[in-house]
Amino acid sequence: MKSVFVKKLCAVSLAALVMVGAAGVAPMMNLEPSVCAAETTADGSFEYEFNDAGTVTITKYTGSAKTVTIPDRIGGKIVNVIGDQAFYENADITSVEFPDLVTDIGNTAFYKCTALTSIKLPDSVRFIGEYAFYGCEKLTSIEIPDGVTTIHKCTFMSCEGLQSVKLPDSLLSIEEGAFSHCDSLKSINIPESVTSVGNKAFLHCGGLADANGLVYIGTVVHYYCGKNGNVVLPDGATYIGDYAFQYNEDVTSVTIPDSVKHIGTDAFTSCTNLTSVTIPESLTENDIEHWAFHCCSGLADANGFIIVKNILFNTVGDDGNEEHPDEDIVIPEGVTVIDSQFLNYSGIRSVTIPEGVKEIRNDAFNGCYNLESVVLPESLTVIGSGVFSNCEKLREVRYGGSPDQFKAITMESQTMNLLVPLLTYGKEGGTPATVTPAADEPQRAPATQAPATAASKAPAPTTTAVSSNNSGIVGVIVIVAVIVVLVAGVAVALVILNQKKKNQQQ
């Protein structure tokens, strides 16, 4: 009887050891099942996931058909979501038929489906994600169902063949870049319900221009493609969008009304024949973005400086070439902001910045590899990101204030650490500074942002990796501990059994 007990004890111990060992090893092998494991439909054309609500999300189209019909049910469950990147860069499909109960079309769902010519969204759709139809260059028309409230960022950007769009009365906002670079777009209705139209929403949509060549929708000046040299912007405009007049060499003068509150990045960049700009007194330096008047050589003063609203944008040399200014630059009095416009100027040897300048924007002198010395004013409060990066010959920086004042300037710790070893303070001939270099603590964000690019791009497809190192270590520890306990238990049982046998023999 007792031997049977011992055998049972050993069997139970072994079973427990196997179960616990498996539990410990599983995390190391990453065998834990996914909550929503991808499966494939019977015909092998779609990968999908079951949602918590008992519905289905199409995650990927794997078929080869040009005309695609998305099933209304899979496994008896309603298909209601077309997931992010489901048809990403599929260059074969020409048309898609949706089931009647689809509510959501995810981000980049049909990104760069370059052969897609026809699509009809069901009335059930309520959400269309960012970049959902970006680069569908053969798509010619689209009707947005009633119930959709937002056209998200760059949803239809670069649909070059898109000619007409019908928007619903439920629409409240059109976000940044939503229809930008839709070169063929000639017709779009903006419902009265729309209260917000984002920056660049209709950039390079020349087909929507009025008789004067101006694309003006909502209160945003999105684009100008006219030939009239004297441009008067409409009263009520509040925003001149990024790149709105960029590279337009026909523009000679611009009158900006008092209603305008902001001028975007690169708004007038390289308008080389622009000689006159009327700007409201209410606009401040903070209302005019980076590069707004970059390379507008017609606005340069007698010394070659392009200054608008006390912002120094860049310098034009005697030959009219912005890339080769004088070797020794003295910034004019009255300037309060230095924009990012000396980037990679190889000719600069020294820069003297006068009192009154409060901000040097991002990358202003980045790549000026012959720059040797800089004079900074006591009035300075912000030094942007990368201002003196790649200035390999910089050997002397004189600051007009005290060490404590210098430490109070908003700048990245990297910039602080670059300047401190080169720094003297006070007026000319001052003594070396004793400022302690900044530690690598979280950086203080500069007051301005880096210049934006001309066209937004969708993020590339991403994958998520799950690390199981920690769970693996814990599993090993658990296994070892259980083995020790079980072995000890079996040993104790054997000792007790042997002792009882001896007692019986006696």
- In the numeric block, the tokens 């609203």 are attached to 309
Q: Is the pLDDT of residue 10 over 50?
A: no
**What pLDDT band is residue 244 in, cutting at 50, 70 and 90?**
very high
Pick the CATH number of 216-299 from 3.30.70.260, 1.10.260.40, 3.60.150.10, 3.80.10.10: 3.80.10.10
For the chain, the domains span 37-208, 216-299, 316-456
Tokens 């007026």 identify what position?
A: 427
Residue 338 has pLDDT above 90, yes or no: yes
pLDDT for residue 332: 93
b/e burial code for range 273-285 (CB count within 10 A of at least 16 → b): ebeebebeeebeb
Burial of 342 (0-12, 13-18, 19+ CB in 10 A): buried
> CA nearest 385: which of 413, 352, 405, 354?
413
More confident residue, 25 or 375: 375
Residue found under tokens 């189209």 = 61
CB 217 within 8 A of CB 197: yes
Q: How far apart are CA 59 and CA 364, in angstroms?
A: 45
SS3 of residue 57 by DSSP: strand
Q: What is the pLDDT of residues 266-277, one digit of tens each?
A: 999 999 999 999
In this predicted structure, the answer to whether residue 115 has a pLDDT above a threshold of 70 is: yes
Contacts of 273 (CB under 8 A, 6+ apart): 229, 249, 250, 251, 252, 298
pLDDT in tens, 370-429: 999 999 999 999 999 999 999 999 999 999 999 999 999 999 999 999 999 999 988 655
Question: If you average pLDDT over every residue of the chain, what do you get?
Answer: 82
Fold agreement between 37-208 and 216-299: yes
Q: Give 267's DSSP letter.
A: T
- pLDDT-derived band at 467 (thresholds 50, 70, 90) equals very low
pLDDT at 33 over 70: no
When pLDDT is cut at 50, 70 and 90, the band that residue 105 belongs to is very high
pLDDT 10s digits, 157-215: 999 999 999 999 999 999 999 999 999 999 899 999 999 999 999 999 999 999 999 99
pLDDT in the model for residue 343: 78
pLDDT for res 433: 47
CATH number at 316-456? 3.80.10
Residue with tokens 């009809």: 120
* CB 239, CB 226: distance < 8 Å: no
- CATH architecture of the domain covering 37-208: Alpha-Beta Horseshoe (3.80)
Bigger pLDDT: 117 or 321? 117
**Cβ(176)–Cβ(197) below 8 Å:** no
